Structure 1
Amino acid sequence: MTRVQANLLLLLAGAIWGAGFIAQSTAMKSLGPVWFIGLRFAVATLVALPFALWEKARATSPLRRSDLAGFVLTGIALFAAAAFQQVGLLTTTVTNSGFLTGLYVVFTPILTVLVLRRRPHWIVWPAAFMASFGIFLLSGGTLAALTLGDMLTIFCAVLWSVQMICVGVFSGRSGRPLALSLVQFFVCAVVGCGAGLLFEPVSLAAISGALPEILYAGLFSSGVAFIFQNVAQRYTTAPQAAIFLSSEALFAALFGVLLLGETISPAGYAGCAIIFLAMLAVELVPELLRPRRAVTPVEA
């Protein structure tokens, strides 16, 4: 897979997440946030299982314990990010949540430098701030006074960055992105359902009321989109992945217009254009500035 193909796969994952944001916000009308996370990732585990078994059959060497531990760590980061986002939605607006979650495009390159000591391509920095500003305009260009939900969502953005860095490290090192998907989904399902039993009421009626949202989030937003992320990040960097995945804000607005009859302001359209330009810059500038090797003419 080429870097261009990987980034396009990440763009598709962003589109799936954008559509899933609607399901994620409406599910809590009948089901608690932690139960929703546990059940959606239980479905995602079933989605990933046959692919992980297929990958295992083709693998030339078994998984190392260090890789398996990294997969579990990735799952913990994923659960924590999803939980902070979902609980934050109880006390913040969808507009604020969409913008503040998108801050992972800034946090990811910062954490990449601090934790991995790797410097991303210089274009990532202006592109990250462009994408953040675009998301801000797309959200309406205003933020209400910060609430507890807003603070939880900001911390969620940091955790999404941690998860992306973990995926980049452990998927690339192990060469087993589908096994990583299975393990991180299973960790989220076990922790989510276990915490739900302890802290939230549940009933068959509540699960039935949120079943369409659980199935969409489990099959597509969790199962398919995160598998796309894990596979694609073997061929691109975490900071670049963050920028392409930030397209979820753009697609969330688009699906809000198509499915919910919402409208986008002129500032919102400007935000869409800025996000798109940020993704183009990350994709094209490194290629345009890549040193060209001299071609030796073939002697007749």
Structure 2
Amino acid sequence: MSRPVANLLLLLAALIWGSAFVAQSTAMRDLGPLTFTGLRFLIAAIVVAPFAIREHANRSLAPLTHGQMLRFTGLGLVFFLAIALQQTGMTVTTVTNAGFLTAIYVVLTPILGLLAFKERPHAVVWPAALVTLAGIWLLGGGGIDRLNAGDLLMIVCAVFWALHVCLLGGMAASSGRPLTLSAWQFAVVGIVAIVPGLILEPVSLQAIAAAGPEILYTSIFSGGLAYTLQTIGQRWTRAGDAAILLSSEALFGALFGALLLGERLTFAGLVGCMLIFLSIVAVQVVPIIGWSRLRARIRMRGA
């Protein structure tokens, strides 16, 4: 798969996640975050399982080793911690703080990739990551409320999101089984979330039925489809690039909020959307045409 196609898959995943913001928020009226997360990802695992079984039947692939199974499980636990910390933090902090502090993973991902995994991102990723973070800050209103314990959870959550992005591409590439990896990590998240959810949170069949449409949408589309697109796409692109592309979830979330809920962006929000869009374009275009050719084109236009 070519890098542009892989990056297009990541953008499509971010678009689907952005469309699911409404469903994720309304589901919390009927279910607790752990129960909702558990049901969502168990269904996502079931949806992806037939494709993973078909992939497993490919005789050209080497059988999964015990080491790979352990690494898949570890990735699922990292994934769960990121989601659980985010959901817990959102019960204490504001939506504005949660969105901005989680987005720190955009900057943390290339740093972590370089320090821990010796993955050198293209030079354009560093300024693009900072511009993306600024765009998300403006999209959230251009402000931040007084920090509390929930905000600390969001910062730790951002570290786990960055770790997940860094680990995912390498595991998908080394195993050659992106669909199996997706189903495996979904199952881990679903099991680890549903057990404490059923114990600690109030739940009933009526509540599950009431949240049924949201559960199905977030499990099939933003869960099974979008996260699998991420797994496939990250086989062919760098972690730093992937973080910036996936961060467009905030941009798409704002657009779907305007379309579906009648929300209106402020001028600062529009500027934030533009900054995120420009960062995405820069990450795609600059590595292709090269710094020198880009500077030459700018000088020609200015002449």
| TM-score of the superposed pair, with normalisation by structure 2 | 0.93
Contact 1:70-1:166 within 8 A present in 2 as well = no
Match for residue 189 of structure 2?
188
Aligned-residue CA RMSD (Å): 1.5
- How many residues were matched structurally? 292
**Measured at CA, do residues 119 and 51 of structure 1 come closer, stay the same or move farther in structure 2, by a change above 3 Å?**
same
Aligned to 1:82: 83
Which has the larger displacement, 210-219 or 193-202?
193-202
CA deviations on 1:40-85 (whole Å, 9 max, x unpaired) are 0011011110110111122422112222111111110111111111
In structure 1, how many angstroms separate the alpha carbons of the residues matched to 2:113 and 2:258?
Answer: 35
Question: For 2:20, what is the secondary structure of its paired residue?
Answer: helix
AA matched with 2:52: A
Query: Residue in 2 aligned with 1:198?
Result: 199
| Amino acid of the structure 1 residue aligned with 2:208 | I
2: CA distance between counterparts of 1:13 and 1:29? 25
CA separation in 1, counterparts of 2:49 and 2:201? 28
Q: Which stretches of structure 1, 4 residues or longer, exceed 6 Å deviation after superposition? A: none
TM-score (norm 1): 0.94
Partner of 1:45: 45
Q: In the alignment, what sits opposite 1:135?
A: 136
Aligned counterpart, 1:154: 155
Q: Take 2:216 and 2:151, find their aligned partners in 1: how far apart are those partners?
A: 27
Residue ranges of structure 1 left out of the alignment (5+ in a row):
293-300
Contact 1:124 1:239 in 2 (8 A): yes
Question: What is the one-letter code of the residue matched to 1:40?
Answer: R
1:268–1:290 Cα change, 3 Å: closer
Q: CA deviation at 1:146?
A: 1.4
> How far apart are residue 291 of structure 1 and its match?
9.2
Per-residue deviation at 1:19?
1.3
Q: How does 1:244-259 map to 2 (within 5 A)?
A: 244-259=245-260
1:8 shift after superposition: 0.8
Asked if the contact 1:39–1:189 (Cα under 8 Å) also holds between the matched residues in 2, the reply is yes
Distance 2:54 2:95 in 1: 39
Distance 2:26 2:159 in 1: 24
1:27 aligns with 2:40: no
**Separation in structure 1 between the aligned mates of residue 184 and residue 3 of structure 2, nearest angstrom:** 25
Query: Aligned-pair distance for 1:11?
Result: 0.4
Shift of 1:22: 1.9
Q: Map 1:56-95; keep pairs closer than 5 Å.
A: 56-60=56-60, 61-95=62-96
Task: Please list, as runs of the form range in 1=range in 2, the aligned pairs for 1:285-296 lying within 5 A after superposition.
Answer: 285-289=286-290
Query: 1:155 is aligned with what amino acid?
Result: V
Q: Secondary structure at the match of 1:58?
A: coil
2:243 is matched with 242
Letter paired with 1:111? L
Measured at CA, do residues 59 and 132 of structure 1 come closer, stay the same or move farther in structure 2, by a change above 3 Å? farther
Q: CA deviation at 1:117?
A: 2.0
Distance change (3 Å), C-alpha of 1:227 and 1:59: farther
Residues 59 and 75 of structure 1, relative CA distance in 2, 3 Å threshold: farther
Q: CA deviation at 1:271?
A: 0.6
Shift of 1:17: 0.8
Q: Which residue pairs with 1:102 in the alignment?
A: 103
1:170-191 C-alpha deviation (Å, 9 max, x unpaired): 1111111001001000001110
1:296 counterpart residue number: none
The residue type equivalent to 2:200 in the other structure is F
Question: In the alignment, residue 215 of structure 1 is paired with which amino acid?
Answer: L
Q: Is the 8 A contact 1:25 1:89 kept in 2?
A: no
Structure 2 stretches lacking a partner, 5+ long: 294-303
| Structure 1 position 147, deviation (Å) | 2.5
For the residue of structure 1 that corresponds to 2:199, the secondary structure is helix
Q: SS at the partner of 1:29?
A: coil
Q: String of CA shifts for 1:133-168, please: whole Å, max 9, x gaps.
A: 000011110111113222222221111111111111
* Residue 123 of structure 1, CA deviation: 0.9
Closer/same/farther in 2, CA of residues 284 and 37 from structure 1, 3 Å limit: same
- 5 Å matches for 1:212-227? 212-227=213-228
Shift of 1:197: 2.6
CA distance in 1: counterparts of 2:150 and 2:212, whole angstroms: 25
Output the CA distance in 2 between the equivalents of 1:97 and 1:259.
22
Report the identity percentage: 52
In structure 2, C-alpha distance between the alignment counterparts of 1:49 and 1:43, rounded to whole Å:
10
Helix, strand or coil at the partner of 2:28: helix
Q: Which moved more, 1:112-121 or 1:31-40?
A: 112-121
Secondary structure in 2 matching 1:62: coil
